[in-house]
Amino acid sequence: MGILGIGLYSSNELTLNFETLTNQSYPGVLKIIFYMGFLFTFAVKLPIIPLHTWLPDTHGEAHYSTCMLLAEILLKMGAYGLVRINMELLPHAHSIFSPWLMLLGSIQIIYAASTSLGQRNLKKRIAYSSVSHMGFIIIGIGSISDTGLNGAILQIISHGFIGAALFFGGNRL
């Protein structure tokens, strides 16, 4: 719905040209509605608590090679969407939501790391630690600074390698 709304807002002709959409001016309430729609979508994929519950179950049931793909590529798509769509297309709405993202990321780090310690299944333990690491990415994206964004991107890249390596090593145990 958000994509259709953004694409149809300026004219009756649907356009998804990113350069055109970046230069588009939206009313304040519409920016917030679009931002919330995209945030919810990316929060499931990232995963952000409380929408993270699919990840440990998926990792617990999936084969190690599937877990490697999830940890390496799929989780990062939500972060990419937050940076590319929410930050670039809707910067004003992002500045409104950024303190909430940083608070949510901080809570997520502590909650998921604590939950990870109680897991007996190795794949679920790694999955909860991944959710905890995604909290650092959320804080970096919510910081609205070059340093925070660079740190989030570094965490995205390093977690991709480390998460896949953990599942690869877990397969060997």
Least confident segment among 63-67, 83-87, 93-97? 63-67
The answer to whether residue 18 is domain-embedded is no
Does residue 132 contact residue 109 with C-beta atoms inside 8 Å?
yes
Over range 93-122, report the average pLDDT: 94
- Residue 4 located in a structural domain: no
pLDDT for 11: 66
141 falls in which pLDDT band (50, 70, 90)?
Answer: very high
pLDDT band at 59 (very low <50, low <70, confident <90, very high): confident
Q: How confident is the model at residue 37 (pLDDT cuts 50, 70, 90)?
A: very high
Per-residue model confidence (pLDDT) at position 32: 92
Mean pLDDT of 136-144: 94
Count of domains observed in the chain: 1
Instruction: Specify if 19 maps to a domain.
Output: no
Question: Long-range contacts made by residues 141-147, C-beta under 8 angstroms, separation at least 24?
Answer: 141/79, 141/82, 141/83, 141/87, 141/101, 142/97, 142/98, 142/99, 142/100, 142/101, 142/102, 142/105, 143/98, 143/102, 144/94, 144/95, 144/98
Contact 165, 69 (CB under 8 A): no
Tally of CB atoms within 10 A around 113: 15
Torsion of CA 108, 97, 35, 57, to 10 degrees: 0
Q: What is the predicted pLDDT for the residue at 21? A: 78
- And the tokens for 9? 């807002």
Q: Model confidence at 22, in pLDDT bands (50, 70, 90)?
A: confident
Identify the domain containing residue 106 by its residue range: 42-172
